């Protein structure tokens, strides 16, 4: 099996976020980092060169593919901030309807700015996603 590219590194999340040229996006990312650290109880860790992650879990799919990844995380991308908080837990769709302006992929949320979303709903998404993943992959 090929080695996973997205794995924890010793790089500093703070140093990474300080390289973001847009001051508004940089501030949004620091706000998200503080929120995820508070809710998760984990310190930020760089996963690969561009994902700020919190905690980790081991997954194993029915296909046999397995690995470790952060419980929750985010990455500032060119068009949006990608938030890795969608685990498919019950009630997720209802929460997303209350979140505010966003786009959703299979496992991540895309937001332009955090002023467009309700941070209390994001906090609930983070918590519920982590709780769901801990249960889903506890015995695998």
Q: What is the pLDDT of residues 114-136, one digit of tens each?
A: 999 999 999 999 999 999 999 98
For residue 2, being part of any structural domain is answered with: no
For residue 8, being part of any structural domain is answered with: no
**Residues contacting residue 84 through CB under 8 Å, at least 6 positions apart:** 51, 53, 70, 72, 73, 74, 75, 107, 108
Looking at the predicted structure, is the pLDDT value of residue 139 above 70? Answer: no
| CATH number of the domain within which 127 lies | 3.90.1150.200
Q: Are 17 and 34 in contact (CB under 8 A)?
A: no
State the total domains in the chain: 1
Cα dihedral value 127, 129, 135, 136, nearest 10: 180
Q: Which domain holds residue 59?
A: 13-136
Mean pLDDT of 48-73: 88
Q: CA separation (Å) from 131 to 65, 88, 96?
A: 22, 11, 17
pLDDT for residue 3 = 55
For residue 28, being part of any structural domain is answered with: yes
């Amino acid at each position: 099996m090929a080695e996973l590219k997205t794995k924890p590194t010793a790089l500093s999340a703070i140093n990474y976020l300080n390289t973001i040229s847009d001051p508004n996006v940089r501030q949004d990312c620091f706000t998200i980092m503080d929120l995820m650290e508070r809710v998760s109880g984990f310190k930020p860790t760089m996963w690969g060169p561009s994902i700020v992650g919190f905690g980790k879990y081991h997954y194993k799919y029915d296909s046999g593919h397995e690995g470790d990844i952060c419980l929750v995380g985010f990455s500032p991308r060119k068009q949006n901030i990608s938030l890795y908080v969608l685990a498919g837990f019950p009630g997720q769709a209802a929460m997303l309807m209350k979140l505010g302006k966003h786009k959703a992929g299979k496992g991540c949320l895309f937001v332009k700015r955090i002023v467009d979303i309700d941070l209390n709903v994001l906090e609930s998404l983070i918590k519920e996603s982590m709780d769901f993943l801990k249960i889903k992959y506890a015995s695998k």
